[in-house]
Amino acid sequence: MSTIVLLLITGLGLGALYFLVASGLSLIYGLMGILNFAHGSFLTLGAFAGWELARRMGGDSWVTLFASMAAGAAVGAIVAAATEFLLIRRLYNRHIEQVLVTVGLALASVALFDGIWGTDPIYVTGPAWFAETTEILGARVPNDRFVLIAVAVLVLIAMVLFLRLTRYGLIIRAGVENRAMVTALGIDVRKAFTLVFAIGGAAAGLGGVLASHYFGYVSPQLGGSLLIFAFIVTVIGGLGSLTGAAVASVVVAVLQQFANYYLGGTGDLVVVLLLAVVLLVRPSGLVGRLA
């Protein structure tokens, strides 16, 4: 019983990490129709920004952790907004060019990170509480998983409330449905779309900092490895659906954990098979619309 509880809770923690990465992808595609292959670069840069700030602040306190999370989110948001403003804005409705530009940016950024921070992993440490465990129904669960789950839930709630209750959220949703009409009303949709990219980048940067604590290191390849699962989660959940991304993140991560434990480390294979089944049975994903 304790093993099942441990796998479930650690699966939820991993799913929370997947969601933080996939939420930005899902939001950007659902509202703007852009598959951003450079999204992993925002995550990696956010992780390095958080590590750099933590290194300069010294110590492994909660203040340092929250400051590094804020720094990662801020850097991710700024770089994502700059990417939309300088590159993507000129390529709306030109999907092939979007893919080429974002893939090229992803490859170039990894080389840049290699040059600045080197190719070897840089190990990070968090508050002492992170290294401890909490017993739940006989299972010793690493404490950092609880932080991941809490942050992911807060991000999901914040994104949904922003889209449904704020003025900019309404402008973004209206601009997706009929951009020409919103523009005719004197509203600059471009600023709203830049904001969407910034929000997605902030979620990725925040996820990068938490990912560095989850894995215990940060490296130039961190974003690329997580981006693969983020795309899988986004497709399974339904392109453009935040709710679908949240559900798919949990399903994928928990299934991966159980398969790795009970099926000899075949978690990645099982996830790919799940993706194939979903594409064959329900191509639109679990929730094939923005929700």
pLDDT at 290: 45
Within a domain: residue 290?
Answer: no
Number of domains comprising the chain: 1
pLDDT at 182: 67
**In whole angstroms, what separates CA 26 from the centre of its chain?**
9
Within a domain: residue 287?
Answer: no
pLDDT at 291: 44
pLDDT at 261: 87
pLDDT at 286: 78
DSSP codes, 70-105: HHHHHHHHHHHHHHHHHTGGGGTT-HHHHHHHHHHH
Within a domain: residue 291?
Answer: no
pLDDT at 74: 95
pLDDT in tens, the chain (291 residues): 678 889 999 999 999 999 999 888 887 877 677 778 889 899 999 999 999 999 888 767 888 899 999 999 999 999 999 998 888 888 777 778 888 888 999 999 999 999 989 888 999 888 888 878 888 877 888 888 999 999 999 999 998 888 888 877 777 767 666 666 766 766 767 777 788 889 989 999 999 999 999 998 999 989 888 888 888 998 898 877 788 889 999 999 999 999 998 888 888 899 999 999 988 888 877 775 544
The pTM (predicted TM-score) of the whole model is 0.89
Within a domain: residue 288?
Answer: no
3-state secondary structure of 123: strand
3-state secondary structure of 137: coil
DSSP codes, 197-215: HHHHHHHHHHHHHHHHHHH
Express each pLDDT in 152-180 by its tens digit.
999 999 988 888 888 777 777 676 666 66
Within a domain: residue 289?
Answer: no
Cβ neighbours around 223 below 10 Å, total: 30
Q: What is the CATH number of the domain that holds 85?
A: 1.10.3470
pLDDT at 218: 93
Within a domain: residue 137?
Answer: yes
Within a domain: residue 81?
Answer: yes
Domain span including residue 115? 2-281
Within a domain: residue 130?
Answer: yes
DSSP 8-state class, residue 128: G
3-state secondary structure of 18: helix
Dihedral of the CA atoms 93, 96, 102, 105 (nearest 10)?
-130
Query: Packing angle between helix 2-32 and helix 189-215, nearest 10 degrees?
Result: 160
